[in-house]
Structure 1
Amino acid sequence: MKLTAGQVLGNQYSAAWTKALRSVVDINDLSSVDAGTLQCLREMASVQSAYAKMDSPVIFNSGIAEADLRLLSDICAEGMSIETRQNASGKKNARIAPQYAEFVGRLGLQQRAVEATGLPLTATDGAVFIIYDEPQAGLGLHLDLTSFGGLTMLLCIERRVTSDSSSATVAVTPDGIDEYRYGVGECLIFDGTRTIHGRTPVGDGEKIVLLSVGFEYASSEEAQS
């Protein structure tokens, strides 16, 4: 498949870009890439940025109550006890059990995303817990699957760090590589299908738990309804 950035071609398009990105650099080597590799990544980011709905990722305070954040952490633990999916890099995923869908809906995540971005958004079925709790667990550079939603919001519900050089969400831009560290109750929101991003590996004793939520860009009719 030719790696252009015109019309989105669905999950096949995202998967092709992800494969290409990971052939360029391993997430473990991102902090020490040479000038040629960095330039290659910047050029790939430039191709995507022309189509992104957001100029860059944004961190904001969700305003979600501490008690609700603790409950989300408990829901995640319960989901992990039922079924946990782990990829080769150590990242784990756990689903939200159906009985908690109404509670998650009451958190008003869609409205919080709209207020943070100024974009008209609609909710999708894309919501999953992401857990990094083993040494060197991380996530290689990629573009999100288009089926998850055009915009991705990561809500931190648990964060334990042991050093200043803690794991970070990284985003590749036409200008270079940016790192984002956000605490419990804070969110990182970005155009996941157009922003090249990943997670640098966690260290010994470090733990990061996120709720990842996908949104679609609403049409003018949907935004007014």
Structure 2
Amino acid sequence: MNLIEWLFDAQLVIGDQTILWREIVGNGFGIASAIGGMRRKVWAWPVGIVGNVLLFTVFLGAVFGTPNPVNLLGQAGRQLMFIAVSIYGWVRWSQSRKRVDLSTGTHVAVQPHWAGGRNRLFIIVALVVGTAVLTPIFTALGSFEPVWADAWIFVGSLLATWGMAKGWTEFWLIWVAVDIVGVPLLVSAGYYASAILYVFYGVFTIWGFFTWMRVQRRSAPALPAAADA
């Protein structure tokens, strides 16, 4: 059995619960990507894509014949969305990787900044409207109940990933909104490894928000001088 076959079939049994190792490994890549994002490293994007590929197979349990025969279409679909948006973010950050952090003088891929009032309003409206539009679609496709939560997670993940690519500090708070809904949904659907890691994500995203906000504040005094130069 080669490594790919082992990774696809390997399971971790804890009591009466069976967890796929690719669910654990996929989320591990997700955590590594989040750490890279907080540090504004370009490698965060390709690392995240690897995790997305693994988790796509996990959340279509009924399709891939996994021990948990539950389809979370929003969770699976967002992995494909992650890949598409991550390619955009990867290119965008790669083009800007020689940007100088004005607070430290070091090269970084992105300079954190506020999204602004108009973009914040767009994010809120897009999250609510997108959830409302996708809920009946996911329901018709047979997604796990409550379907609105699956749709919320999908739309929120899209907006958060897009915000990260743009360098908006608020993108971390969108992840918090996703995690608040995601943890109870994953527990009820039996995806316990992902639910536990979502709790960790929730704490980490708050840390990431304040980290980016500190970087932004340190850079702010240097902006006028840089503009004059």
Comparing both structures, which one devotes a greater share of its residues to helix?
2
TM-score with structure 1 setting the length = 0.23
TM-score with structure 2 setting the length = 0.23
> In terms of Rg, which structure is larger?
2
Comparing both structures, which one devotes a greater share of its residues to strand?
1
